[in-house]
Amino acid sequence: LEQLGHLGSDQIDFVRKDIAGLSSDTPIVVFSHIPLFAMYPKWGWGTNDAVQVLSMLRRFSSVTCLNGHVHQLFTKTEGNITFHSAAPTCYPFPKPGHGPGPIPQVLPAGRLKDALGIRTVNYRQGSHALAVKDEKLT
């Protein structure tokens, strides 16, 4: 079993202070290595105290959380919070629950580039949605 991510009181207090004076229509973008929701706790794909930060962010109309750690594409929306992850730039992991754990997958010869990529996320003033673009590595 993998250990879940942990923010700790210092990081949670930092977020609390950082957003304290912001109006609820301010778009918020959060970067984390490990997902801030329980994507697959058995493999350590979640953060055990993230609910404290997410509850502080619920008052904002648009929150985007970008994370790595899971080496695959996904997008998930919970209310006003959207979570995005990207394809890996090094090696893929199996999908949650498939395979023995979060270990690098062996792919057929010539197929590695199909599993790797870069996700670009852009924000434009006045737009309610982020522009998300996925590219395979060539």
Q: Whole-structure pTM over 0.95, yes or no?
A: no
* Residue 121 pLDDT: 81
* Residue 128 pLDDT: 65
For residues 110-135, average pLDDT: 81
- The overall longest dimension of the chain from CA atoms, in Å, is 53
Extended strands (E) in 21-111? 28-32, 63-67, 74-78, 81-85
For residues 98-123, average pLDDT: 88
Q: At what angle do helices 8-19 and 50-57 cross, to 10 degrees?
A: 10
Whether 30 has a pLDDT exceeding 90, the answer reads yes
Is 76 in contact with 37 (CB distance < 8 Å)?
yes
35-62: pLDDT as tens digits: 999 999 999 999 999 999 999 999 999 9
Question: Domain 8-136 has what CATH class?
Answer: alpha beta
